[in-house]
Chains A and B, each alone.
Chain A
Amino acid sequence: MSFEKFGKIGFISETKVASFVKHLEDGKIMATRCSRCGKLYFPPRADCPDDLSTDMKWQQLSGRCKLLTYTTAYFAPTGFRDDVPYTIGLVECEEGVKVYALLSKQIDEKEIRIGMNLQATPLRLSDNRITYELKKC
């Protein structure tokens, strides 16, 4: 079970949180919560730096979120040049954690507003790859 199928372009294959991808394939976006101090992490992490605990539990995010900021890129790194323009967003989930992802191409750039409600949703890509995106509610 490896992480390498995550994202349009992936750079990481080995990680303690590789099962994030399995959950994503099951339609769930998961965060991790430290069993000792209770802190919730997204992106998920396997180790809590606050108390050095490695006892972490998976917790599903509802996906309900608000847009904090965004940009529409007309210039892109390798692997994304055919996708421009695309909009990168940073959202805050109702659970308090933040998610960095692309906004769905179905959202018109003119409609995008800081503060708008969005839904973080798993998204299957070609070549059996998988990611998540931000859709309109």
Chain B
Amino acid sequence: MGVTIVGVGQTPFQRNCGINIRELCFEAFKDALEDINLTPKEIDASVICSAPEYDKQRSPAGLISEYLGLAPKPTFYAESLCSSSSTGVRVGYSFLESGLHEIVAVIGFQKMSEISSAEAQERMGRGADIQWESPFGTMMPAGYAMLARSHMKKYGTTEEQLAKIKVKSGKYALANPLAMFRREITLEDCLNARVIASPLKMFDCCANADGASCIIMAREEKARKITDTPVKVAGIGAASDTLSTTSRANLAGLDCAIQAGKQAYKMARIEPKDVDVAEVHDCFSIAELMAYENLGFCKPGEGGKLIEDSQTYLGGKIPVNIDGGLLSKGHPIGATGGSQIRTIVNQLQGKAGKTQVSGAEIGLVHNIGGIGLYGNVTILKR
């Protein structure tokens, strides 16, 4: 027995989608079912994923499951901030592996424009420990900026190296019609952009977006009836770290990603060098650079050199985020993990078009919630 992914879908990621959350989810769901032999009635459970602070609807799972025609099958809600849909895939994996269900839809969404920018601004400060850190005016970019500063001090990483991650992102976003920002950015643009939280500048940061993604998972014996090209979930790892910065042991990497990666590699019986293509959680440029190291694509401290040598470009040692990543696609929190998985599934099915890694057999998805709070690593095989 094994667990497979048989269908993937995604809406465009954009600033103001102009439709409601159930309609947004329907678009991703329809896209996932488009090329496969499966009707909604055959799906026997759904997991709906988002970060609830952006939702006006209480308990959105019921609303969305109804609109997709999935009632009366059970539906569940999964949340782990920016990695909610990877958590949804983990829940789906457990449902299928346990035999409780045979075909599961994991739908991730976020309509970040649902709340006003004043409301978003207010929520932004409450992502940290609200008793001991939010009273000091912290926010997501500040958290990653502190890790960047620490990484620079420890390993000599430079602002130019971080900027090169965005330069790569811009180049590949041109080929992704679903990305929010589809333009190339020069190194000078990155370095001259306004500072958000030093040393991170505007192009080191991803942007809020509206969007949805859908992953259809099935038990292996069901998969061949649904598609000729199922992709196997070969390894799945998850870990957490402390929410409070004061309790963190590692200030130059994400321990939750290291732990989740180790679990996934062990389960898939592979090593980092076996990965042909990867999607990593680049909510900030430093996050991608730390991911290179935390996933073992290079040694700790060598992430800066890896991007400088263009080893994470198509044709390099390990192509990373060659769909543009969060930095160019935009980051509709609950939809992001599903979008990353979709990119890797397309790669393994040979459907990645201009950015296809030729002969890709093994892909990896690294999806982080919060400032290194929730770590999720999923390894997929053709």
In the assembled complex, B251 has its CB within 8 A of some CB on chain A? yes
Residue in chain B with minimal CB distance to A78: B122
**B132 / chain A contacts, CB cutoff of 8 Å:** 43, 100
Chain A 93-108, CB within 8 Å of chain B: the 1/0 string? 0000111111000000
The docked-state distance in angstroms from the alpha carbon of A90 to that of B242 is: 15
* Chain B: minimal CB distance from A31 (Å): 11
**B110-140 CB contacts (< 8 Å) to partner A:** 118, 121-122, 124-126, 129-139
In the assembled complex, B240 has its CB within 8 A of some CB on chain A? no
**A97 / chain B contacts, CB cutoff of 8 Å:** 246
> Range of interface residues on chain A?
35 or more
> Which of B125, B149, B247 is in CB contact (< 8 Å) with A71?
B149
In the assembled complex, B291 has its CB within 8 A of some CB on chain A? no
**A76-129 CB contacts (< 8 Å) to partner B:** 76-81, 83, 86, 88, 90, 97-102, 109, 114
Chain A 1-45, CB within 8 Å of chain B: the 1/0 string? 001001111111001000000000000000000000000001100
In the assembled complex, A53 has its CB within 8 A of some CB on chain B? no
* Chain B: minimal CB distance from A34 (Å): 15
20 contacts between A and B (CB under 8 A): A3-B131, A7-B134, A11-B126, A11-B130, A43-B246, A70-B146, A71-B142, A71-B198, A71-B200, A73-B142, A74-B198, A75-B197, A77-B124, A88-B142, A100-B133, A100-B136, A100-B138, A100-B246, A114-B149, A114-B150
The docked-state distance in angstroms from the alpha carbon of A69 to that of B147 is: 7
In the assembled complex, A72 has its CB within 8 A of some CB on chain B? yes
Do residues B130 and A74 form an inter-chain contact, with CB atoms below 8 A? no
Do residues A74 and B138 form an inter-chain contact, with CB atoms below 8 A? no
The docked-state distance in angstroms from the alpha carbon of A102 to that of B143 is: 13
Residue in chain A with minimal CB distance to B129: A43
Do residues B147 and A74 form an inter-chain contact, with CB atoms below 8 A? no
Do residues A73 and B150 form an inter-chain contact, with CB atoms below 8 A? no
The docked-state distance in angstroms from the alpha carbon of A78 to that of B126 is: 10
Do residues A71 and B139 form an inter-chain contact, with CB atoms below 8 A? no
Do residues B135 and A9 form an inter-chain contact, with CB atoms below 8 A? yes
Beyond A3-B131, A114-B153, list 11 extra A-B contacts (CB 8 Å). A11-B126, A11-B135, A12-B130, A43-B129, A43-B246, A73-B196, A74-B194, A75-B196, A100-B133, A100-B245, A131-B135
Which residues of A come within 8 Å of B, CB atoms?
Answer: 3, 6-12, 15, 42-43, 68-81, 83, 86, 88, 90, 97-102, 109, 114, 131
**B133 / chain A contacts, CB cutoff of 8 Å:** 100
Do residues B131 and A42 form an inter-chain contact, with CB atoms below 8 A? no
**B194 / chain A contacts, CB cutoff of 8 Å:** 74
* Chain B: minimal CB distance from A127 (Å): 13
Do residues B146 and A71 form an inter-chain contact, with CB atoms below 8 A? yes
Residue in chain A with minimal CB distance to B154: A114
In the assembled complex, B335 has its CB within 8 A of some CB on chain A? no
The docked-state distance in angstroms from the alpha carbon of A113 to that of B196 is: 19
The docked-state distance in angstroms from the alpha carbon of A90 to that of B248 is: 11
A-B pairs, top 7 by smallest CB distance, nearest first, are A7-B135, A77-B125, A80-B137, A71-B145, A11-B130, A69-B150, A98-B246
The docked-state distance in angstroms from the alpha carbon of A5 to that of B195 is: 31
Do residues A9 and B149 form an inter-chain contact, with CB atoms below 8 A? no
* Chain B: minimal CB distance from A41 (Å): 9
**A79 / chain B contacts, CB cutoff of 8 Å:** 125, 137
Do residues B137 and A86 form an inter-chain contact, with CB atoms below 8 A? yes
The docked-state distance in angstroms from the alpha carbon of A98 to that of B146 is: 14
Evaluate whether A83 and B146 lie within 8 angstroms (CB atoms) in the complex, with A72-B198, A78-B122, A90-B246 already known: no
**A75 / chain B contacts, CB cutoff of 8 Å:** 139, 141, 196-197
Do residues A73 and B137 form an inter-chain contact, with CB atoms below 8 A? yes
**A9 / chain B contacts, CB cutoff of 8 Å:** 125, 134-135, 137
Residue in chain B with minimal CB distance to A10: B135
In the assembled complex, B244 has its CB within 8 A of some CB on chain A? yes
**B124 / chain A contacts, CB cutoff of 8 Å:** 77-78
The docked-state distance in angstroms from the alpha carbon of A83 to that of B139 is: 14
* Chain A: minimal CB distance from B78 (Å): 25
**A98 / chain B contacts, CB cutoff of 8 Å:** 245-247
The docked-state distance in angstroms from the alpha carbon of A11 to that of B126 is: 9
Most buried by B among A68, A86, A102: A68
